[in-house]
Amino acid sequence: MSSNQKTAWENPDRYLEVLDSPLHRLIVTVQDSLTYGTSNYWRSRGVKAAHLPITTGAISSPMGRGSDSSPVHIELFGVPTYLADSMQFGLEYALRLAEKGAYYVMPSFRGEDADSTHLCQFYHSEVEIPGSLDDVVQEAEHYLKAITRQVLEDAGPEIEAYCGTISHLEHLVTQDRFPRVTFDEAARLLDDSKIIQHDGWRDLTRSGEHDLIRLHGGPVWLTHWDSLSVPFYQATTQMQEVALNADLLFGLGEVLGCGERHQGASTLRESMRRHEVDEGPYEWYVRMKEEAPLQTSGFGMGTERFIAWVLQMEDVRDVQLMPRANGRQLVP
When mean pLDDT is compared across 16-20, 98-102, 190-194, the lowest value belongs to 16-20
Whether 3 shows a pLDDT value over 80: the answer reads: no
Residue 69 binned pLDDT confidence (cut-offs 50, 70, 90)? confident
DSSP string, 192-220: GGGEEE-SS-EEE-HHHHHHHHHHHTS-E
What's the mean per-residue pLDDT of the chain? 95
Residue 237 binned pLDDT confidence (cut-offs 50, 70, 90)? very high
Tell me the per-residue pLDDT of 111-127, one tens digit each, with 9 for 90 and over: 999 999 999 999 999 99
Residue 64 binned pLDDT confidence (cut-offs 50, 70, 90)? low
pLDDT at residue 102 in the model: 99
- What's the one-letter identity of residue 36? Y
What is the C-alpha separation between 201 and 225, in angstroms, rounded? 9
DSSP string, 156-177: HHHHHHHHS--HHHHHHHH-SS
Mapping DSSP to helix (H, G, I), strand (E, B) and coil, where does residue 13 land?
coil
CA torsion 73-77-78-81 (nearest 10°) is: -30
pLDDT at residue 329 in the model: 87
Task: Report helix, strand and coil shares of the chain as percent, to nearest 5.
Answer: 40, 20, 40
pLDDT at residue 4 in the model: 42
pLDDT at residue 66 in the model: 64
pLDDT (mean) for 281-295: 98
**Which of 261, 259, 189, 250 has its CA nearest to residue 225?**
259
What is the C-alpha separation between 79 and 59, in angstroms, rounded? 15
For residue 22, give Cα distances in angstroms to 305, 308, 318. Answer: 19, 15, 13
pLDDT (mean) for 46-55: 98
Angle at 87 between CA 80 and CA 307, to 5 degrees: 120
For the 14-319 domain, the top CATH level (class) is alpha beta
pLDDT at residue 1 in the model: 41
- For strand 195-197 and strand 202-204, is the pairing parallel, antiparallel, or unpaired? antiparallel
Would you say 240 and 274 are in contact if contact means Cβ atoms under 8 Å apart?
yes
What is the C-alpha separation between 286 and 320, in angstroms, rounded? 37
Would you say 308 and 319 are in contact if contact means Cβ atoms under 8 Å apart?
yes
pLDDT (mean) for 183-195: 98
Would you say 108 and 123 are in contact if contact means Cβ atoms under 8 Å apart?
yes
Task: Return the domain boundaries, the chain.
Answer: 14-319
What is the C-alpha separation between 305 and 315, in angstroms, rounded? 9
Name 319's bridge partners: none
What is the C-alpha separation between 265 and 279, in angstroms, rounded? 11
User: What percentage of the chain carries pLDDT values higher than 70?
Assistant: 96
Residue 10 binned pLDDT confidence (cut-offs 50, 70, 90)? confident
When mean pLDDT is compared across 125-129, 183-187, 198-202, 207-211, the lowest value belongs to 198-202
What is the C-alpha separation between 254 and 138, in angstroms, rounded? 17
pLDDT (mean) for 308-324: 96
Backbone angles phi, psi at 82, to 5 degrees: -130, 150
Q: Is the pTM of this model over 0.75?
A: yes
